[in-house]
Amino acid sequence: MRGVVERKLRSALTIGGVAAGILALTLSGAMAEHFGAQFDGGVRYYRAAIQVADDAGSPAAVVSMTKIDQIQRVPGVAIALPSIQLLARPGSTSAVPLGLPDTIAYADPRETRYSGLPTKVAQGRQLQANRQGEVVLGADLAQELGAKVGDTLDLPVKPRGANPDFVNHPFKVVGVLRRTNTLPDATASVGLLDAQMLLQESLPASFRDRVDPSSLASGITVYGKPGVDLDALADKITATVPGIAAIRPTDYVRGFDQSGRFSAATIAIEALALLFGALVIGAAMQLAVVERAVEIGVKMALGARAWHVAAEYVVEATGIALIGGVLGIAIGLGLAQLLDLAGRSIGMDIFLVTFRVLRIALALTVLVGLAAGTAAALRVFRADPDAALRMV
């Protein structure tokens, strides 16, 4: 490790190169974790249920609550529940087209018994039946809106340049959910009556006044009885109940393919970052062996065996890699926090730094150091002390 101190400039450049590689790896890893968690949550939720939508040419993508009873009668259905989802920030576009849109949602309380994605309250309480004007916020949305239990906020959030007829309503925050790193984090949960009112208000004016809000849902979520093949059940619902389309869970989940492609891209970035770090430190160590040929000769003349000197190079390379790696990880952590903090207000919260990311970054750092050190060590084993000392 003394070589690191002796060659300050080169060591600094090498450490900087490794740090840059590990920084990229940490950030891309944290991004992959973020989207991976969202993807996993989506898969867990949508694989456990059948999503039913209107198929009768409704002008506003709403489904009638009357369909629930018909679906309920299909053999194999455990329960059919209304679901309502609306944009919490209509008209706003995310700066980065990634991640989940902020949503106002209604989910029937009975769903918690069936859902593959149960939620827990971190502060306050869950919604209570038949109480209006209350909202429970997901962790990210609460942070974005800067809202805490007891606060009142207007939903949907009024966008800049909204039309004069834009309507929103005050809601009292009664709870904030524990972070799930997936769908519920960006959700404002409201009661059924509130959700139906908001859904009606979101409809085109020509259609809005002709519908009874209490009959509206944006979809129906269907859970099957234990052991029932949900894809087959979806086909059966579509065939049995007119005017609706039940989407097979496997088809729905396949829609997340983009997340899979994102993960592949992230892995490619990580591999490049790793390769960059390995090349930087590898080149530096190879140069060190060539440059210190005389030193290697002197050490061998003084009784060192080749493996003694080789081990010194492995230790030095690993030490340099560790310093660079820890630096890269630290900068990566700080940068992820800063970027998330800056992006939170526009829904661009895209990093999730987990212990897995840190462990992988650190393990790969050591691996890069060991690989570079070993490559240098192999060169030491081929060193000729006789020739080296003639260079004195």
Partner 1 sequence: MAAIELSELGVTFRPGQPGAVRALRAVTLSIQAGEFVSVVGRSGSGKTTLLHCLGLLLRPTAGKLVIDGVDTASQTDGQRAELRGRRIGFVLQDRNLLPGLTALENVLLPLRYGWPRRGARTRARELLAQVGMADHADDRPGQLTPGQAQRVAIARALIKSPSLVLADEPTGEVDDETADDLLQLMQQVNRTSDVSFVVATHDPEVGSCMDRMVRLTEGTVAADDRLRTERIRLSSIR
What are the residues binding partner 1 (CB under 8 A)?
2-3, 5-6, 294-295, 297-306, 308, 385-386, 389-390, 392
* Beta carbons of 183 and 45 less than 8 angstroms apart: yes
Residue 2 beta carbon to partner 1: minimum distance, rounded to whole angstroms: 5
Alpha-carbon separation of residue 342 from 167, 200, 358 (angstroms): 29, 34, 22
Return the number of the residue (89 or 299) whose C-beta is nearest partner 1.
299
DSSP 102: P
Residue 373 beta carbon to partner 1: minimum distance, rounded to whole angstroms: 18
Return the number of the residue (224 or 297) whose C-beta is nearest partner 1.
297
Residue 294 beta carbon to partner 1: minimum distance, rounded to whole angstroms: 7
Tokens in use for 47? 């694989």
DSSP 184: G
Residue 385 beta carbon to partner 1: minimum distance, rounded to whole angstroms: 5
How far is Cα 342 from Cα 336, in angstroms, rounded to an integer?
Answer: 10
Q: What residues pair up with 52 in beta bridges, in sequence order? A: 220, 246
Residue 380 beta carbon to partner 1: minimum distance, rounded to whole angstroms: 13
Return the number of the residue (81 or 289) whose C-beta is nearest partner 1.
289
Return the number of the residue (98 or 294) whose C-beta is nearest partner 1.
294
Return the number of the residue (154 or 384) whose C-beta is nearest partner 1.
384
Contacts of 297 (CB under 8 A, 6+ apart): 383, 385, 386, 387, 388, 389, 391, 392
- Nearest in space to 91 (alpha carbons), one of 156, 136, 144: 156
User: In this structure, how many other beta carbons lie within 10 angstroms of the beta carbon of residue 239?
Assistant: 10
Residue 117 beta carbon to partner 1: minimum distance, rounded to whole angstroms: 59
- Nearest in space to 198 (alpha carbons), one of 189, 64, 92: 189
Return the number of the residue (244 or 304) whose C-beta is nearest partner 1.
304
Return the number of the residue (73 or 308) whose C-beta is nearest partner 1.
308
Taking the alpha carbons of 341, 344, 349, 355 in that order, is the dihedral positive or negative?
Answer: positive
Residue 284 beta carbon to partner 1: minimum distance, rounded to whole angstroms: 16
